């Protein structure tokens, strides 16, 4: 053990019993049951803890990291755009995430949104529950057929590929845009075609976002690009809210797009009021990875990363920037 009884901050209640693995060797400060800490509180807590398990909603910026005693941050998410990685790395603070384990759950949810948006599921639900269902009708809630259509995947990483696997079962064609082209052997199982973002937006009936939020991808879908999408297309965002200009999306939903399915928002938990008014927007409360086993496994991963570090080992899920030494 590197430290005698390290003190670990856990900023929220986590599902399952993963924290039990810390046993008597660690001192745990859990904020379970309390409201989410703001930046000022996080700064105070980081000044006293040796390690921290954080949520994607905890903004760990330079202010929080200045004067911090924390040596390792285990983020309870695969995305880590909530952490200032440059500053953490400069201060030799390790950052870990929870990749792979949530891939299928998130791809399932992306598909739940694709089907809901394309086939107008929430509108149908509302009709039945409000007593307005008067019987089968040839033109009731006509939606978008999926088979033989094209899905455009932005970010063909773990979740993007899992979405592509599911798309094959629906008989769809797959195009993708990414920061790099996959190897032919990686493309081959999906029959996926590498295109630039402009071509993807023009040629896809469904566009599904699976890139991380970085300086480069922030608002990558602004007004011009949203209106350059195929008319009557569907946009799905289970990646991160700030990748899309929400106000422009609401406008595009009025006149240009068939529907959108969103799990994430620009200013979470706020949702742009214009989007709330659109009945062709299917809106979920950031539940991409919210399968019970998935969330319990994410907690185990976070705990294992902390334990590995204080045992003097390299944490198994160090973020790529810290493996390669490159920062965004
Ligand atoms: P991943 O395996 O790292 O995949 C991300 C892919 O996006 C990589 O292939 C990456 O390429 C690519 N990419 C990076 N910059 C890009 C750009 N400018 N344009 C197009 N593609 C770009 O990550 P993942 O596990 O699939 O997760 C993806 C994201 O999903 C996470 O970052 C997170 O924000 C989000 N997520 C959301 C939920 C939810 O609850 N809604 C759950 C899980 C994850 P390189 O590898 O070359 O950089």
Helix (H/G/I), strand (E/B), else coil: 110: helix
Confidence at 326, pLDDT banded by 50, 70, 90: low
Pocket test for ligand 1, best of 155, 160, 241, 283 (most atoms within 8 A of CB): 155
Q: Over the stretch 100-158, which tens digit does the pLDDT of each residue have?
A: 999 999 999 999 999 999 999 999 999 999 999 999 999 999 999 999 999 999 999 99
Nearest partner of 59 among 267, 273, 283, 309, judged by Cα: 267
Quote the CA–CA distance of 179 and 189 in Å, as a whole number.
20
**Mean confidence (pLDDT) of the chain:** 97
What pLDDT, in 10s, does the model give residues 232-291?
999 999 999 999 999 999 999 999 999 999 999 999 999 999 999 999 999 999 999 999
Ligand 1 atom index nearest CA of 180: 47
Rounded CA-CA distance 6/50 in Å is 6
CA distances from 38 to 65, 81, 163, 220 (A): 14, 17, 35, 28
Q: Is residue 324 very low, low, confident or very high in pLDDT (cuts 50, 70, 90)? A: confident
pLDDT of 2 reads: 75
**Is there an atom of ligand 1 within 6 Å of 177 CB?**
yes
Helices marked H in 190-266: 197-203, 223-227, 246-255
pLDDT attached to residue 51: 98
Nearest ligand 1 atom, CA 263 = 41
First-residue to last-residue Cα distance in the chain: 32
Pocket lining: 57 vs ligand 1, CB cutoff 6 Å = no
Whether the per-residue pLDDT at 325 is higher than 70: the answer is no
Task: Give the residue, out of 78, 152, 195, 242, with the most ligand 1 atoms within 8 A of its beta carbon, to mutate for a pocket test.
Answer: 78
Interior angle at CA 290, CA 284 and CA 294, nearest 5: 160
Q: State the average pLDDT over residues 287-308.
A: 98
Mutate to test the pocket of ligand 1, among 178, 209, 221, 285 (most ligand atoms within 8 A of CB): 178
* CB atoms inside a 10 Å sphere around CB 259: 27
Q: Which fold has domain 103-283?
A: Rossmann fold (3.40.50)
Any ligand 1 atom below 6 A from CB of 167: no
What is the average per-residue pLDDT within 194-220?
Answer: 98
- State which ligand 1 atom lies nearest to the alpha carbon of 162: 26
Summarize pLDDT for 58-92 with one digit per residue, the tens. Answer: 999 999 999 999 999 999 999 999 999 999 999 99
**Is the CB of residue 102 below 6 angstroms from any atom belonging to ligand 1?**
yes
Question: How confident is the model at residue 3, as a pLDDT?
Answer: 80
Quick check: 222 pLDDT over 60?
A: yes
| Rounded distance between C-alpha atoms, residue 266 and residue 289, angstroms | 18
pLDDT value for 1: 76
What is the per-residue pLDDT for 328? Answer: 46
Closest-lying ligand 1 atom to the alpha carbon of residue 100: 25
Catalytic site positions: 240, 268, 286
> pLDDT for 142-194, tens place per residue?
999 999 999 999 999 999 999 999 999 999 999 999 999 999 999 999 999 99
What's the 14 CA to ligand 1 centre distance in angstroms?
24
Mean per-residue pLDDT, 13-17:
97
Q: Is 210 in the pocket of ligand 1 (CB under 6 A)?
A: yes
Ligand 1 atom nearest to CA at 287? 40
Q: Is 155 in the pocket of ligand 1 (CB under 6 A)?
A: yes
Q: Going by CA atoms, what residue is nearest to atom 38 of ligand 1?
A: 288
How many Å is the Cα radius of gyration of the chain?
A: 21
CB under 8 Å to 98, separation ≥6 — which residues?
75, 76, 77, 78, 297, 298, 301, 302, 317
Model-level pTM greater than 0.95? yes
269 cis-preceded (ω within 30 degrees of 0): yes
| 255 CA distance to ligand 1 middle (Å) | 29
CB atoms within 10 A of CB 155: 21
**Is 103-283 the same fold as 7-101+292-322?**
yes
| CATH (residue range 7-101+292-322) | 3.40.50.720
Domain ranges of the chain: 7-101+292-322, 103-283
Q: Give the pLDDT band of residue 45 (cuts 50, 70, 90).
A: very high
């Amino acid at each position: 053990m590197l430290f005698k009884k390290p003190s670990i901050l856990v900023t929220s209640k986590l599902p399952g019993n993963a924290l039990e693995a810390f046993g008597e060797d660690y001192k745990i400060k859990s904020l379970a049951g309390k409201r989410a800490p703001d930046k000022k509180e996080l700064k105070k807590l980081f000044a006293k803890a040796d390690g921290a398990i954080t949520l994607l909603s905890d903004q760990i910026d330079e202010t929080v990291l200045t004067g911090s005693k924390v040596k390792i941050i285990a983020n309870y998410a695969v995305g880590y755009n909530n952490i200032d990685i440059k500053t953490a790395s400069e201060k030799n603070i390790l950052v870990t995430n929870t990749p792979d384990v949530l891939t299928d759950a998130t791809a399932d949810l992306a598909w739940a949104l694709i089907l809901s948006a394309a086939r107008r599921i929430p509108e149908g639900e509302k009709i039945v529950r409000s007593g307005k269902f008067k019987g089968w009708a040839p033109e009731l809630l006509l939606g978008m057929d999926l088979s033989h259509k094209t899905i455009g995947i932005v970010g063909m990483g773990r979740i993007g590929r899992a979405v592509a696997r599911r798309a094959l079962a629906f008989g769809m064609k797959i195009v993708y845009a990414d920061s790099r082209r996959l190897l032919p052997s990686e493309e081959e199982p999906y029959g996926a075609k590498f295109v630039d973002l402009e071509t993807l937006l023009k040629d896809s009936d469904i566009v599904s976002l699976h890139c991380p939020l970085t300086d480069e991808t922030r608002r990558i879908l602004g007004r011009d690009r949203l209106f350059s999408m195929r008319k009557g297309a569907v946009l799905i965002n289970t990646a991160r809210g700030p990748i899309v200009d929400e106000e422009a999306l609401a406008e595009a939903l009025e006149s240009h797009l068939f529907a959108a399915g969103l799990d994430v928002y620009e200013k979470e938990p706020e949702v742009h009021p214009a989007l709330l008014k659109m009945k062709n927007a299917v809106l979920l409360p950031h539940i991409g990875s919210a399968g019970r086993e998935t969330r319990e496994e994410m907690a185990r991963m976070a705990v294992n990363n902390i334990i590995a570090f204080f045992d003097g080992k390299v944490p198994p899920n160090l973020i790529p920037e810290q493996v390669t030494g490159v920062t965004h």
